[in-house]
Amino acid sequence: MDDMETAGLHPDVITYATLMDAYCKTGEMDKAHELLRKMLERRIQPTLVTFNVLMKGFCMSGMLEDGEKLLQWMLEKCKAKRNHV
């Protein structure tokens, strides 16, 4: 991400979701979650795709409590609907 910004490119929600997916597939959930924090800091609105990537990553990594926390946060802060995730 830093290299992109140095080159004058600005990552968008698709860029973040793609990188999160790669981290999730390799079990690097801390890095995937950190990308969500960076997105929010940069005021980039996560989409349902973003949340689904993270939820799947948490579940596949056996991090069910973290997945539940993310779901609760999504429902409270992002007004996501339970049947969409």
Task: Give the residue numbers spanning the domain of 36.
Answer: 2-84
Q: How far is CA 13 from CA 16, 36, 46, in A?
A: 5, 10, 6
Q: Model confidence over 62-83: pLDDT tens digits?
A: 999 999 999 888 888 776 565 5
Q: Model confidence over 16-57: pLDDT tens digits?
A: 999 999 999 999 999 999 999 999 999 999 998 999 999 999
* Confidence tier at 85 by pLDDT (50, 70, 90): low
pLDDT of residue 76: 80
Q: What is the mean pLDDT of the chain?
A: 89
CB 67 within 8 A of CB 55: yes
Six-digit token pair at 80?
A: 């996501």
For the chain, the domain total comes to 1
